[in-house]
Amino acid sequence: MKGKILVTGGAGYIGSHTTVELQNAGYEVVIVDNLSNSNADVIDGIQKITGIRPAFEKVDCIDFAALKGVFDKYPGIKGIIHFAASKAVNESVHKPLLYYRNNIVSLLNLLELMPEYKVEGIVFSSSCTVYGQPSSEYLPVTETAPIQPALSPYGNTKQIDEEIIRDTIHSGAPFKSIVLRYFNPIGAHKTAEIGELPNGVPQNLVPFLTQAAIGIRKELSVFGDDYNTPDGSCIRDYINVVDLAKAHVISIDRILENKTDAKLEYFNLGTGNGVSVLGLIHAFEKTTGVKVPHKIVGRREGDIEQIWANPRYANEVLGWKAVESIEDTVQSAWNWQLKLRERGVM
Q: Using CB under 6 A as the criterion, which residues of the chain lie in contact with ligand UD1 when the complex forms?
A: 87, 89, 127, 129, 152, 155, 184, 203-205, 208, 220-223, 234, 236, 277, 300, 303-304
Specify the 3-state DSSP secondary structure of 177: strand
Minimum CB separation of residue 223 from ligand UD1 in Å reads 4
Q: Vertex 204, ends 98 and 222: CA angle to 5°?
A: 130
For ligand UD1, the closer CB: 118 or 299: 299
Minimum CB separation of residue 306 from ligand UD1 in Å reads 9
β-pairing verdict for 275-276 and 294-297: unpaired
**What gap in Å lies between CA 286 and CA 35, rounded to an integer?**
35
Minimum CB separation of residue 275 from ligand UD1 in Å reads 10
For ligand UD1, the closer CB: 109 or 184: 184
Per-residue b or e along 75-109, where b marks 16 or more CB atoms closer than 10 Å to that residue's CB:
eebbbbbbbbbbbbbebbeebeeebbebbbebbeb
Annotated catalytic residue: which of 13, 27, 154, 266? 154
**What gap in Å lies between CA 19 and CA 30, rounded to an integer?**
9
For ligand UD1, the closer CB: 127 or 310: 127
Q: Are the beta carbons of 176 and 256 closer than 8 angstroms?
A: no
Q: Are the beta carbons of 324 and 243 closer than 8 angstroms?
A: yes
For ligand UD1, the closer CB: 168 or 276: 276
Minimum CB separation of residue 35 from ligand UD1 in Å reads 18
**What gap in Å lies between CA 100 and CA 183, rounded to an integer?**
22
Specify the 3-state DSSP secondary structure of 235: strand
Q: Is 238 a catalytic site residue?
A: no
Minimum CB separation of residue 206 from ligand UD1 in Å reads 7
Q: State how far Cα 335 lies from the chain centre.
A: 20
For ligand UD1, the closer CB: 68 or 300: 300
Active site residues per annotation: 154
